[in-house]
Amino acid sequence: MTWNLPNVLTVLRLLAAPGVAVMFLYFHRPFADWLALLLFVSAAVTDWFDGHLARTWKQQTKLGTMLDPIADKAMVVIALMVIVGYSSMSPWLVLPATVILFREVFVSGLREYLGDTAGTLKVTKIAKWKTTLQMVAIAVLFAQGVWEHYLGIASWGMDSAMISDILEGREEDVQGLGWKLTGMVWTGNAGLVLLWVAAALTLISGVDYFRKATPYLKEGS
């Protein structure tokens, strides 16, 4: 195995995937949301750097080729698990997350079955776009969690009537409930839209991979 900088970055990204979940075990929210967001974004940035450096420096290796898609999938799967687990289980979030998780497991199974012929399932542009959108959507949804908990902290001890008076302008907004609520709503909606688009691309790329694998799934082939 060759340990160059691109491979080291890939391994760090792989280790960061479970680290996102660990943040919620050892830190209280919203600090856990902040740390998970920073860790996830940092790891996502390395996804571009390790591939770019490997190609530029001609340091592409079998280890990097194997670990890179595993790290991407681990980041997405674990982050979605955390987000869904800490959400209100809204179907608008659960459904696209389910599509993404199902596709990742399905395509991984296809590649394992195909073995030496798995090279027919090369990464396509659509697959690259779906991975990028997945990571952006997840980062925005982590940001929504930050806004949500700062809003909760700011409104601590207030009853619903007082919160309504503040948000409707009848009382002074000393704690900044208005802009915290706006931040929560915008990041939540943006994250859901991005996740649905990512789920659509994920489904399209999954169907494309299955179509390419079909000739190798026929009996006697």
* CATH architecture for the domain at 1-86: Up-down Bundle (1.20)
pLDDT at residue 101, as a whole number? 92
Sorted by sequence, the CB contacts under 8 Å of residue 169 that are 6+ apart come out as: none
pLDDT at residue 116, as a whole number? 64
pLDDT tens sequence across 64-100: 677 888 888 899 999 999 999 888 788 899 999 999 9
Locate 196 and state its tokens. Answer: 């649905």
Amino acid, res. 174: V
Q: Could you say which residues of the chain have pLDDT below 50?
A: none
Q: Which residues of 62-86 are buried (b: 16+ CB within 10 A; e: fewer)?
A: ebbeebbbebbbbbbbbbbebbbeb
Amino acid, res. 51: G
> What is the domain partition of the chain in residue ranges?
1-86, 89-221
Amino acid, res. 73: K
CA–CA distance, 204 with 55 (Å, rounded to integer)? 27
- Exposure on the CB side of residue 15, measured as CA atoms within 13 A: 6
pLDDT at residue 221, as a whole number? 52
Contact 42, 16 (CB under 8 A): yes
Burial of 191 (0-12, 13-18, 19+ CB in 10 A): buried
pLDDT at residue 99, as a whole number? 94
pLDDT at residue 1, as a whole number? 57
